[in-house]
Structure 1
Amino acid sequence: MHLSVSHPLRPRRRSLNTARVAASFGLDVAPADRLTIAEDLPVHAGPGRITLFTGPSGSGKSTLLRAAADRLESDAAAGGPPVVRADALTLPDRPLADALPIGFDAACALLSKCGLAEPRLLLRTPAELSDGQRFRFRLALAVCLAQGGKEPGAVVCDEFAAVLDRTLAAAVAHNVRRLCAATGVGFLLATTHDDLADDLAPHHAVRCRSAGPPLSDATPAEEEQNPLAGRRSLGPLFAPDDLDGRISFAGDLRLTVASRGDWPAFADWHYRAHTVGVVRFGVMLWHVRPPGVIGKSDESPSTAEPVGIALFCSPPLSLRGRNQYFGTGSRWTSAGLKAMNAQLVTLSRVVLHPTYRGCSLAAPFVAAACDACPFPWIESLTQLGQTHPFLERSGFVKLPVEPAPSRSSKPNDLRQHSALYGAGGRGKKKATLSAVSHAKSRHAAPAYLIRDNRSAPAVLETNRLTRRRQELEGCDE
C-alpha cells in the first residue's frame, strides 16, 4: 500500500478561543489548508509481517499506523483477514486464567510469551493489574482474536512496550517476532523507542523524523551521509559551564549555518507563509545523540537530527516601527537602500520542532543565532511578539507601534494592511501583499522588535576583517 496522509488545519470543534488563535496566526483561511504527514509513502503491512513505525513524539508515526490499519480494515470488511486494535479492546472482568477464548494450556503458553508467566497473575483480573501488565494482557488478547478468522489477521498496537522497562520490553519484542513466525499473525507497531528493532527484526520499517518526510525502507535506498557533513559548525548551543539547571540533553544541541534549502523541512511548522524571501543568513539547531545511545556513534548519519531553524532575510522597504526607532522616513535614496541592506536584516523565520518547545530553548537559540549573524542590526515583525517574550529575552527591544490611520472604509483593506509588512509605496503601481498572505494575516497585529547586534561576536569579527583588509589595501597603495 501507499499512504498519503494530511490533517486539515481547521478545528473539528469551533469556539471563540479557537477562532481567536486561528485568526491571529492565519490558520483558518481555506478549508484546503492541510498539514501533510506523508505523501505516497510505501508501506508493507499485513498477516505474517511485522511493520514498525518509529520516531519522536509528534512526528506522525501514530497517524501513519492508524492510516495503515484503516486500509487493512477495509480489506477485512471485504472478507479479508481480521484486524485487531489492541488499544481499543474492552478487557474482560475475569481472572487471566479464564480471560482468553482458547484452551487453558494454549492460553498459558500465549500469556507467557507476552510476559505474563507468573502464576499469581493468572488469578488476577485485568483491573487488578499494573499498566505494564495490562499492556501485555491486551497484546495476548489481541493475538488470540487475530487468529479467530479463517486465516491469521493482524494486530495493531500504538506506543508498543512504552510502559515496560527496557529489559522486559526487549523480551516481549523478541517473543512478538516468534509469535509472528509461529502463528502467521501480523503486527503493526509504533514506538518512540529505537532499542526494540533488533529483537523485533521487522519485515518493514518506517522512520518518522522531527523534520522532513518519513523514510520507508521500501523506498530504494540512497547512500546515507552524515547530515552534518559539509556544514559550517557554529559550536554548541550552550557552553559547558552553562548547563546547570537546563534540560538533560542541552549539552547535545549543536548549531550550524543554514540555507534557504533547509527551510522546506520546517515550513509546515510555521504558522503563516510556507515560502521565504531572500535569505541573507541562517542557523540550524541539531540534536546530536552522544556515543552509546541506541548503539550509535556521533559519526552515524541517524544520530544528528535538525530540530530548529532561524532565517535572516532582506528587510522590507519601510516599516513604521523601524522609522520610529531610527527616525527615518518612508522614502529612500539608492545610497540609503544600499546602507540599509548592508547593516540590517529581518529575522523572518524562527521554528522549533514542537517536541523541543517548552524546554526554555527558544530564547537561547535565537540569541545564539543573532550572535552568529554578521549584521549590526536585526529586526523582527511577528504576531508571536504580542504573546511570547522569547525575542525580548534574546536581546530584542519591543516597540509600541501604533498602526497608521486607515483611509479605507473597508476593514482589513489590502493596501492599508500591506503597509504593516513594508509593502505599499507612493508610486503609480503600489506593491501589496499577495492574496494568500493577506488572508492569513488580515486579523494580525504584529509586534515590531529590534536588536542592536553591533556587539555580537560575528559582527565584531566582520569589522576586524574589514579593518585588516583596508589596512592591507592601504599598504598596497
Structure 2
Amino acid sequence: MHLSVSHPLRPRRRSLNTARVAASFGLDVDPADRLTIAEELPVSAGPGRITLFTGPSGSGKSTLLRAAADRLEADGAAVVRADDLALPDRPLADALPIGFDAACALLSKCGLAEPRLLPRTPAELSEGQRFRFRLALAVCRARLGEAPGAVVCDEFAAVLDRTLAAAVAHNVRRLCAATGVGFLLATTHEDLSADLAPHHAVRCRSAGPPRSDAALETDEADPLAGRTLLGPLFADDDLDGRISFAGDLFLTTASRGDWPAFADWHYRAHTVGIVRYGVMLWHGSQKEVIDESHGSLKRTEPVGIALFCSPPLSLRGRNRYFGAGSRWTSAGIKAMNAQLVTLARVVLHPTYRGCSLAAPFVAAACDACPFPWVESLTQLGQTHPFLERAGFVKVPVEPATKQGTKPNDLRQHSAIYGAGGRGKKKGVLSAASHAKSRYAAPAYFIRDNRSAPAVLEANRREREACDD
C-alpha cells in the first residue's frame, strides 16, 4: 500500500480564540492549506507481518499507524485495535476467549507469567500489566476469524521498563511467526527494533518526510556533507540549568534547499526569498560528528533552522528606527544589501519548543551571520519575547492609515511588509499574501550585529585584504 496523509489547518471546532489565532497567523484563509505527513509512502502491512513505525513524539507515526490500519480494514482484513479494547471485569484466568492452558501460555508470552496475577481482574492491575493484558486479548481477537488478522498498538511498550519491553517485543516476534497474526506497532523507543525484527519499518523524523524501508534502495547521503560546522549551541560552562540534552545540540550552515523539511511547521508562506545566510540546529553528539563517526551521523537529526534573506526595499519599522525615508537610490540599496539581512524564517521542531532554546538559537545564528544588522518582522514576536532575549530591539509598527481607508486596506497594509513603491501591481502584496496577513499586526525587530564574531572576523579579513 501507499499512504498519503495530511491534515487541514482549519480547526474542526471553532471559537473566538481559534478565530483570533487563525486570523493572526493566516491559518484560516485557504481551505486547501494542509499539514502533510506523507505522500505516496510505501508501507507493507498485514497478517503474518510486523510493521513498525518509529520516531519522536509528534513526528506523525501514530497518524500513519491509523492510516495503515484503516487501509487494511478497508481491504477486508480483520483489524483489532488494542488501545480501544474494553477490559472485561473477570479474573485473568477466565478473561481470554480460549482454553485455560492456552490462555496461560499466551499471557506468559505477553509478560504475565506470575501465577499471583491470574486471580486478579484487569482493574486491579498496574498500567504496565494492563497493557500486556490488552496485547494478549488483542491477539486472541485477531485469531477468532477464519484467517488471522492484525493487531494495532500505538505507543507499544511505552509504559514498560526497557528490559521487560525487550522481552515482550521478542515474544511478539515469536507470536507473529507461530500464529500468523500481524502487528502494526508505533513507538518512540527505537531500541525495540532488534527484538521485534520487523518485516517492515517506517522511520518518522523531526524534520522531513518519513523514510520507509519498502522504498527503492538509494544510498543515503551524509546529512552533514557540504556544511560548515559552527560549533555547539551552548558552551560547556553554560549548561547548568539547561535541559539535559543541551550539550548535544550543535550548529551548522544551512541553505535554501533545507527549508522544505521545515516549511509545514511555519505559519506563513512556505516559500522563501533570496537566502543570504542560513543556520541549522542539530540534535546529536558534536564530538562524534567532529570525529567523523558515521554511526553517529545516522542518529543526528536537524531540529531547527534560521534563514537570513535579502531585505525588502522599505519597511515602516526600519524607516522609523534609522530615521530614513521610503525612497532609495541605487547606491543606498547597494549599501543596505551589503549591511542588512532579514531574519525571514525561524523554525524549531515542535518537540523542542518550550525548552528555552529559541532565544539562544536565534542569538547563536545571528552571531554566525556576517552582516552588521539583522532585522525581523514577525507576528509571533507580539506574544513571545524570544527575539528580544536574543538581542533584538522591538520597534512599534502601525499602518499609516489615510483618510477613507481601512487599517487592513491592501495598499496601506502592504507598507508594513515592505511592498511599498509606485505602481499598482508592483507596490502591493500579492492577493494570497494579503489574505493571510491582513489581520496580522507584526512587530518589527532590529539587532545591532556589528559586534558578532562573524562580523568581526569578516572585518578583519577585509582589513588584511586592503593591507595586502
Q: Common fold, TM-score beyond 0.5? A: yes
SS at match of 1:93: coil
How many pairs align?
A: 465
1:431: how far off?
Answer: 2.4
Equivalent residues in 2 for 1:198-277, closer than 5 Å: 198-277=194-273
The 1:35–1:333 alpha-carbon spacing in structure 2 relative to 1, beyond 3 Å, is same
Matches of 2:293 and 2:285, distance apart in 1: 8
Structure 1's consecutive aligned runs of 4 or more residues displaced over 4 angstroms after TM superposition are 289-292
Cα deviations across residues 200-225 of structure 1 (Å, max 9, x unaligned)? 00000000001000000010121123
Equivalent residues in 2 for 1:115-154, closer than 5 Å: 115-154=111-150
Contact 2:236/2:247 (8 A) holds in 1: yes
Pick from 334, 337, 341 the counterpart of residue 333 of structure 2.
337
Pick from 388, 393, 402 the counterpart of residue 392 of structure 1.
388
1:112 and 2:108 are equivalent in the alignment: yes
Which residue of the partner structure matches residue 87 of structure 2?
91
Contact 1:226/1:299 (8 A) holds in 2: no
TM-score, normalised via structure 2 length: 0.97
Equivalent residues in 2 for 1:170-209, closer than 5 Å: 170-209=166-205
1:313 and 2:305 are equivalent in the alignment: no
Contact 1:6/1:37 (8 A) holds in 2: yes
Matches of 2:222 and 2:25, distance apart in 1: 35
Matches of 1:406 and 1:42, distance apart in 2: 56
The residue type paired with residue 383 of structure 2 is T
Matches of 1:240 and 1:74, distance apart in 2: 54
Which residue of the partner structure matches residue 16 of structure 1?
16
Q: Equivalent pairs: percent with the same residue?
A: 85
Contact 2:5/2:67 (8 A) holds in 1: yes
SS at match of 1:374: coil
Matches of 2:270 and 2:254, distance apart in 1: 17
Cα deviations across residues 342-379 of structure 1 (Å, max 9, x unaligned)? 00000000000000000000000000000000000000
Matches of 1:236 and 1:2, distance apart in 2: 39
Which residue of the partner structure matches residue 352 of structure 1?
348
1:6 and 2:2 are equivalent in the alignment: no
Matches of 2:233 and 2:103, distance apart in 1: 54
Matches of 1:143 and 1:299, distance apart in 2: 36
1:36: how far off?
Answer: 0.4
Matches of 2:149 and 2:193, distance apart in 1: 22
Matches of 2:327 and 2:398, distance apart in 1: 19
Which residue of the partner structure matches residue 324 of structure 1?
320
Structure 2: where are the runs of 5+ without partners? Answer: none
Which residue of the partner structure matches residue 475 of structure 1?
none
Cα deviations across residues 33-64 of structure 1 (Å, max 9, x unaligned)? 10000000111100000000000000000000
The 1:197–1:366 alpha-carbon spacing in structure 2 relative to 1, beyond 3 Å, is same
Which residue of the partner structure matches residue 70 of structure 1?
70
SS at match of 1:306: strand
Matches of 1:289 and 1:60, distance apart in 2: 25
Matches of 1:386 and 1:19, distance apart in 2: 17
SS at match of 2:47: coil
Matches of 2:54 and 2:43, distance apart in 1: 13
Contact 2:397/2:416 (8 A) holds in 1: no
The residue type paired with residue 159 of structure 2 is V
Cα deviations across residues 114-152 of structure 1 (Å, max 9, x unaligned)? 000000111111111111000000000000000000010
Pick from 390, 401, 426 the counterpart of residue 397 of structure 2.
401
Matches of 1:117 and 1:237, distance apart in 2: 48
Which residue of the partner structure matches residue 31 of structure 2?
31
Contact 2:399/2:407 (8 A) holds in 1: no
Cα deviations across residues 162-200 of structure 1 (Å, max 9, x unaligned)? 000000000000000000000000000000011000100
Which residue of the partner structure matches residue 377 of structure 1?
373
SS at match of 1:182: helix
Which residue of the partner structure matches residue 55 of structure 2?
55
Which residue of the partner structure matches residue 45 of structure 2?
45
The residue type paired with residue 445 of structure 2 is L
TM-score, normalised via structure 1 length: 0.95
SS at match of 1:348: strand
Matches of 2:85 and 2:22, distance apart in 1: 36
1:413: how far off?
Answer: 1.7
1:165 and 2:161 are equivalent in the alignment: yes
Matches of 1:434 and 1:86, distance apart in 2: 50
Which residue of the partner structure matches residue 427 of structure 2?
431
Contact 1:291/1:298 (8 A) holds in 2: no
1:106: how far off?
Answer: 0.3
1:429: how far off?
Answer: 5.3
The 1:179–1:304 alpha-carbon spacing in structure 2 relative to 1, beyond 3 Å, is same
Matches of 2:19 and 2:456, distance apart in 1: 46
CA RMSD of aligned residues (A): 1.5
